[in-house]
């Protein structure tokens, strides 16, 4: 059977797309394989991306037997391998010699409906391929099959731009391809949709616009980030960096949003220099913020927790900010409140206490729940005299709250303060001194409230 000849023009277009696919998916091996019609037991690598981690090259020939692609060809259907090391039948597959253990492949059909070859991607790590990745590869399979039909009908392949566009449009990221001067040569649908939905004029971010100039001329609050982006893109275009990433906020009037810009070199032939992808990472960013909040904040009161307090003590202990005052507080009779009214009511008392302390201190002061019924306040650049005034404000807040609210048991707190006035002193000792002073006052408060 005669081997189907693929014109060089079409092979170059395929090469462009698999280079972009490799960059966008961040995967080492993307291959278009063709069965050798003279010896159908062999398969030839027709096109391979030029990633340094791809062990395969254009023109490589292999025996089909034992390859991942053998099953795709035999079954004439898509095949997915998440981790070949977990499946005994693939332990001796030749691809594992190159540590390529995950695989996604589709059969490519020739116009006569026979198997022409395969298109596949392979990774060196376990990978659960996403729906969008499967759809992307399937879309490219269809592009190839359409090209084969056009070749068979002796039609010249037209509009290579549409081939690349089909790949770009399948991605959720906002993607643009730049030339060496920074001119936008291609944009995907997500890029265009974002521009339209955010009232960005297409003439300022569409094909033909110099993206580097747009970034460099940015003004206002976004100018610093835009300038960093321009410098990073230039480094990639000039070949000095293989990857540049930048996380940045892009808030709208209605919502908080964050994006990650990823710039990689375009490794194929042609005038293209860099692929830019802006991915919406808002969900990830919000989860990170939530994780940080729970790491350093008390879940009951919302105040900083003991871990954060200790970190701040260590930081201030090594700084030259002086004086630094500490106020220690211990909620009076919390055990009695818990025993008489229940722990839920006790939690309410703790939350009210936290609110009263926060309302009494300054915005620059750090309030933390140290544990149980104990609270701590760090007062940077604060003398002992000022800290005592703030301590009195806290006491007054509690007294006024009791006067204006009918509680089953009064809400009281014992307080003590101390100050670090010179670098030779240690805040840990100041903490102990404030704690000691608090317990002295607690003894006085206990005698006042013996009716409990």
List the 272-280 sheet strands across, edge first. 184-187, 174-179, 272-280, 258-265, 244-249
Ordered strands of the 413-420 beta sheet = 366-371, 374-380, 324-331, 413-420
Q: Is residue 162 part of a domain?
A: no
pLDDT score for 159:
41
How far is residue 438's CA from residue 375's CA, in Å, rounded to a whole number? 11
- Answer whether residue 437 shows pLDDT above 80: yes
CATH of the domain at 133: 3.30.450.40
Instruction: Give all strands (DSSP E) within 281-332, no chain letters.
Output: 324-331
DSSP per-residue string spanning 120-136: EEEESS-----HHHHHH
For residue 202, the model assigns a pLDDT of: 57
Q: Please list, in sequence order, all residues whose beta carbon lies within 8 angstroms of the beta carbon of residue 311, skipping any fewer than 6 positions away.
A: 296
Residues 112, 185, single domain; the answer is: no
Same domain, 194 and 271: yes
Rg of the chain taking only CA atoms, in angstroms: 33
Identify the sign of the CA torsion 132, 162, 12, 70.
positive
Out of 284, 311, 339, a domain closes at: 284
pLDDT confidence tier of residue 368, bands split at 50, 70 and 90: very high
Assign residue 184 the CATH number of its domain.
3.30.450.20
Q: How much is the average pLDDT of 266-272?
A: 78
- Taking the C-alpha atoms of residue 321 and residue 365, their distance in angstroms, rounded to an integer, is 13
* Beta carbons within 10 angstroms of residue 388's beta carbon: 15
Q: Is the dihedral of CA 51, 55, 58, 63 positive or negative?
A: negative
Per-residue pLDDT tens digits for 170-205 = 778 888 889 999 999 888 888 888 888 877 765 667
Structure-block tokens of residue 243: 């990857």
Q: How many domains does the chain have?
A: 3
For the chain, percent of residues with pLDDT exceeding 90: 58
- Per-residue pLDDT tens digits for 145-157: 998 888 887 654 4
Residues 177 and 106 in one domain: no
195 shares its domain with 153: no
Average pLDDT over residues 284-304: 87
332 contacts 446 by C-beta, under 8 angstroms: yes
Say yes or no: 150 and 176 in one domain.
Answer: no
Q: Which residues of 356-378 are buried (b: 16+ CB within 10 A; e: fewer)?
A: bbbebbeeebbbbbbeebbbbbb
In a domain, 290, yes or no: no
Rounded to whole angstroms, what are the CA distances from 250 to 154, 207, 212, 233, 282?
49, 22, 18, 19, 10
pLDDT reading at 344 higher than 70: yes
Instruction: Based on the fold, state whether residues 304 and 442 are members of the same structural domain.
Output: yes
Identify whether 163 is part of a domain: no
Check whether 410 has a pLDDT greater than 80: yes
Token representation of residue 65: 């037997």
Q: Look at residue 201 and give its three-state secondary structure.
A: coil
For residues 199 and 268, state if they share a domain: yes
Give the residue among 200, 212, 210, 205 at the shortest CA–CA distance from 187. Answer: 205
pLDDT at position 25, please? 86
pLDDT in the model for residue 152: 80
Same domain, 228 and 257: yes
In this predicted model, what pLDDT tens digit does every residue of 83-122 receive, in sequence order? 999 999 999 999 999 999 999 999 999 888 899 999 999 9
Whole-number pLDDT of residue 106: 96
Q: Please check the confidence at residue 411 and state whether its pLDDT lies above 50.
A: yes
The pLDDT value given to residue 172 = 81
Asked whether residue 92 is domain-assigned, the answer is yes
Mean pLDDT of 137-142: 92
Looking at the structure, do residues 250 and 313 belong to the same domain, yes or no? no
Residue pair 416/404 in contact (Cβ under 8 Å)? The answer is: no
Boundary of a domain, candidates 225, 250, 284: 284
Verify that 319 and 247 share a domain, yes or no. Answer: no
Q: Taking a C-beta distance cutoff of 8 angstroms, is the pair 163, 145 a contact?
A: no
User: Does residue 361 lie within any of the structural domains?
Assistant: yes
Q: pLDDT confidence of 450, banded at 50, 70, 90?
A: very low
Provide the residue range defining the domain that includes 223: 172-284
- pLDDT category of residue 269 using cuts at 50, 70 and 90: confident
Whether residue 405 is contained in a domain is answered as: yes
Q: Are 110 and 148 in contact (CB under 8 A)?
A: yes
Q: Is residue 103 helix, strand or coil?
A: strand
Mean pLDDT of the chain: 88
DSSP string, 30-85: EEEEEE-SS-TTEEEEEEE---TT----TT-EEESTTSHHHHHHHHTS-EEES-GG
My answer on whether 254 and 308 are in the same domain is no
- Domain-located, residue 3: no
Task: Provide the pLDDT confidence category of residue 162 given band limits of 50, 70 and 90.
Answer: low
Does residue 2 sit within a domain? no
Read off the pTM.
Answer: 0.46
Query: What is the three-class DSSP state of 278?
Result: strand
Q: 11-60, pLDDT tens digit by residue?
A: 898 898 899 888 888 899 999 999 988 898 999 999 999 988 899 999 99
Domain boundary among 116, 133, 157: 157
More confident residue, 196 or 349: 349
Contact 90, 81 (CB under 8 A): yes
Q: Are residues 71 and 124 in the same domain?
A: yes
For the chain, first and last CA: distance in Å? 101
């Amino acid at each position: 059977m005669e081997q189907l000849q693929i014109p060089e023009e079409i092979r170059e277009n395929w090469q462009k797309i698999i280079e972009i696919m490799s960059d966008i998916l961040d995967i080492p091996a993307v291959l278009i394989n063709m069965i050798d019609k003279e010896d159908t037991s062999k398969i030839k690598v027709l096109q391979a991306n030029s990633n340094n981690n791809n062990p395969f090259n254009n023109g490589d020939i292999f025996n089909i037997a034992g390859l991942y692609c053998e099953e795709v060809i035999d079954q004439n259907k898509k095949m997915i391998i998440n981790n070949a090391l977990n499946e005994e039948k693939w332990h001796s597959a030749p691809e594992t010699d190159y540590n390529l253990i995950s695989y996604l492949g589709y059969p490519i059909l020739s116009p006569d409906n026979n198997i022409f070859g395969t298109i596949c991607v392979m990774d060196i790590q376990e990978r659960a391929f996403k729906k969008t990745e499967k759809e992307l590869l399937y879309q490219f399979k269809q592009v190839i099959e359409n090209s084969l039909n056009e070749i068979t009908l002796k039609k010249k392949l037209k509009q290579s731009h549409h081939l690349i566009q089909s790949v770009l449009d399948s991605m959720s990221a906002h993607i643009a391809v730049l030339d060496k001067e920074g001119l936008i040569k291609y944009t995907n649908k997500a890029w265009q949709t974002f521009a339209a939905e955010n009232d960005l004029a297409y003439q300022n971010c569409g094909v033909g616009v110099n993206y580097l100039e747009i970034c460099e001329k940015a003004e206002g609050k976004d100018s610093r980030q835009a300038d960093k982006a321009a410098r990073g893109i230039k480094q990639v275009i000039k070949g000095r960096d293989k990857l540049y990433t930048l996380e940045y906020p892009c808030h709208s009037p209605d919502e908080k949003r964050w994006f990650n810009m990823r710039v990689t070199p375009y490794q194929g032939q042609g005038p293209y220099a860099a692929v830019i992808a802006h991915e919406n990472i808002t969900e990830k960013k919000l989860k990170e913020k939530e994780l940080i909040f729970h790491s350093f904040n008390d879940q009951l009161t919302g105040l900083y927790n003991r871990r954060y307090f200790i970190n701040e003590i260590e930081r201030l202990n090594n700084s030259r900010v002086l004086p630094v005052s500490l106020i220690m507080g211990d909620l009076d009779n919390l055990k009695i409140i818990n025993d008489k009214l229940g722990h839920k009511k006790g939690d309410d008392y703790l939350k009210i206490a936290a609110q009263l302390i926060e309302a009494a201190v300054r915005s620059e002061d750090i309030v933390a729940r140290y544990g149980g019924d104990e609270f701590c306040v760090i007062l940077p650049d604060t003398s002992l005299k000022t800290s005592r005034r703030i301590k009195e404000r806290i006491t007054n807040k509690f007294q006024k709250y009791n006067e204006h609210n009918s509680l089953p048991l009064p809400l009281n707190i014992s307080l003590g303060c101390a100050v670090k006035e010179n670098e030779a002193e240690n805040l840990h000792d100041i903490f102990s001194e404030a704690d000691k002073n608090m317990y002295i006052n607690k003894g006085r408060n206990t005698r006042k409230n013996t009716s409990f």
